Structure 1
Amino acid sequence: MTDVADASSPPRRPNRRGQATRENMLEAALKSLASGDPGSVSANRIAKDIGATWGAVQYQFGDTDGFWAAVLHRTAERRAEVFAAVGGDDPLGDRVASIVDTLYEGLAAPDSRAIENLRAALPRDPSELERLYPQTAAELYSWGQSWLAICHNAFADLDVDPERIREVATLIPGAMRGLVSERQLGSYADPDVARRGLTNALVAYLQAPP
């Protein structure tokens, strides 16, 4: 990481003008992180890119840790909106296909690229991450919990084993990253066939007797 979390006072509650500044900083951060530039994971650099000072970042977010946590929270809110429509009266197969296809498309979007680049620059060891970036670590943990909630809500009215939903929810993101990577690298494998096969396998698993 270019920056380390700073020991400073917590961010202040912004007024309307401050809120606009905060929004601009978050969007600039996502744009910079999505570029994939190795130097993009720097709160200082992002502040300079939008003509702000490091003091302005501290005023809005407290420190680097607070800044990255806010970036993660922004994308989590968007993700929740995207998956809000999954469920309804759709059969199980359609719900699983909707989750798989939405993730497949979403992982190539700028927000997802930004978060992948940020995560790649953060400590891999959870205890080290929690020590250096406690707010960011808490937000990443919250991501996992909110994703699990999204999957449980998607099948809430169906007779599906909750433990199997948890297993599927844990599997899908990594599986979809693999398929997206294959698409980006180029492959003779048909991604549509792969998504259909994954969907059918997950449906069969969720429908099978305990």
Structure 2
Amino acid sequence: MSETSSTMQSAAGTRLNRKGRETRQRLLDIAIVCLAEGSGEPLSANRIAREAGVSWGTLKHQFGDIDGLWAAVLVELTDRSGANSPEIWPQVSGSIRDRVREMVDAMWTILDTPEGRAVETLRAGLPTGRDERLEVFPLTTAAMAGYEDAWLRAFEYFLADLTLDSGKVHRVRAMIPMAVRGINNERRLSSPAELTDARHCLVDAVASYLR
């Protein structure tokens, strides 16, 4: 979790005791599972509260509203991914292609985990217009930007010790998540060999562009 037990607070600004922290974590865990399952049932705060066996008032006390809940879920998922903890990132070496492949493979793997599927469900459920997103889900929009930024910084880390055109690195770091998500959308429709070929082509093209 992103907050220590001594600083974790409710949406109302009160410090959470042990039971409150456990309830908060249970709500986050259940929300992530429900998002990852993507069963088609409308995902609401009431459903999350019902699945957790608590009242709407308890969820409201913890997160304020659905925007606060989704924002907290994204903060939790960012922490779980390790993308916000550079101290645990692996040492990197090898060619440009090797490093791009590692990053593409990492994103590909995460997209097929419950945590990755939860993020994609949230992304798909937000309003498509930026102004509407900011108006209706300001906290979630900011937390999603933080999640994305953590991965972008991780990508830069993988290339940091190489002498590369900074403009190309900036453009590539924005493009890779979009490209990997596009290939990921074909998981159910394309063969494993085709998906592998597509990822290899992406890696080769990016590495060639960066050289």
**How far is 1:21 from its partner?**
1.2
Q: By how many angstroms is 1:171 displaced?
A: 1.1
Q: Which residue of 1 aligns with 2:208?
A: 204
Between the aligned partners of 2:167 and 2:62, the Cα distance in structure 1 is: 40
Alpha-carbon spacing, 1:159–1:138, altered in 2? closer, same or farther (3 Å): same
CA RMSD of aligned residues (A): 2.1
Q: 1:185 aligns with which of 167, 184, 189?
A: 189
Moved over 6 A (4+): none
Q: How far did residue 178 of structure 1 move?
A: 2.0
Specify whether residues 131 and 123 from structure 1 end up closer, same or farther in structure 2 by C-alpha distance, changes over 3 A only: same
Preserved CA contact (<8 Å) 2:32 2:118? yes
Task: Find the counterpart in structure 2 of residue 119 from structure 1.
Answer: 123
1:130 aligns with one of 134, 141, 145: 134
SS in 1 for 2:187: helix
- Give the share of equivalent positions with the same residue, in percent: 38
Consecutive unaligned residues in structure 2, runs of 5 or more:
1-10
**Match for residue 6 of structure 2?**
none
Which amino acid is 1:168 matched to?
V
Q: Which residue of structure 2 aligns with residue 70 of structure 1?
A: 72
Q: Which amino acid aligns with 1:118?
A: L
Partners of 1:86 and 1:97 in 2: how far apart? 14
Of 53, 58, 69, the match for 2:60: 58
Cα distance in structure 2, aligned partners of 1:131 and 1:71:
19
Alignment-derived partner of residue 3 in structure 1 = none
- How high is the TM-score relative to the length of structure 1? 0.86
Shift of 1:15: 2.1
Q: Deviations over 1:62-93 (max 9, x none)?
A: 22111000011111122216985355233322
Partner-residue secondary structure (3-state), 1:39: coil
After superposing the two structures, state which structure 1 stretch, 67-76 or 183-192, moved more: 183-192
* Match of residue 100, structure 1, among 89, 92, 104: 104
